[in-house]
């Protein structure tokens, strides 16, 4: 049996940064089974690339999911709550709202 001296053995531990779990895919809620003919609100938080991401998402929602209209709104800044007027406008005009962030 070999003795351990506490000295480095020359071994390197490699960590795998990939997720161990497969994310669960969730569909739309029972109260909104699809987006055909619906008005979708997109709320951008002003982080870097959020506008580019949501611009692409807008096209997907219209072309692939049949949304009738996409309303785009922005927060003043990502670090502050959204203005009450913006939230109320989205709630009044949209069937569903996606609040998205990006970096």
Which one is predicted more confidently, 53 or 6?
Answer: 53
The per-residue pLDDT for range 60-86, each reduced to its tens digit, is 999 999 999 999 999 988 888 899 999
In a domain, 103, yes or no: no
In a domain, 101, yes or no: no
In a domain, 14, yes or no: no
In a domain, 61, yes or no: yes
Domain count, the chain: 1
The per-residue pLDDT for range 86-98, each reduced to its tens digit, is 999 999 999 999 9
The per-residue pLDDT for range 29-63, each reduced to its tens digit, is 788 889 999 999 999 988 888 888 999 999 999 99
In a domain, 26, yes or no: no
Domain extent, residue 71, equals 39-95
In a domain, 73, yes or no: yes
φ, ψ dihedrals at 84, nearest 5°: -55, -40
In a domain, 4, yes or no: no
The per-residue pLDDT for range 15-28, each reduced to its tens digit, is 777 777 776 777 76
In a domain, 87, yes or no: yes
């Amino acid at each position: 049996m070999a003795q351990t001296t506490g000295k480095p053995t020359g071994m390197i531990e490699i960590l795998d940064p990939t997720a161990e779990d497969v994310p669960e895919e969730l569909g739309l809620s029972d109260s909104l089974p699809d987006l055909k003919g619906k008005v979708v609100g997109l709320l951008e938080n002003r982080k870097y690339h959020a506008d580019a991401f949501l611009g692409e998402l807008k096209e997907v929602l219209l072309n692939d999911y049949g949304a009738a209209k996409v309303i785009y709104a922005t927060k003043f800044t990502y670090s502050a709550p959204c203005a009450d007027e913006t939230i109320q406008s989205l709630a009044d005009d949209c069937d569903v709202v996606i609040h998205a962030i990006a970096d």
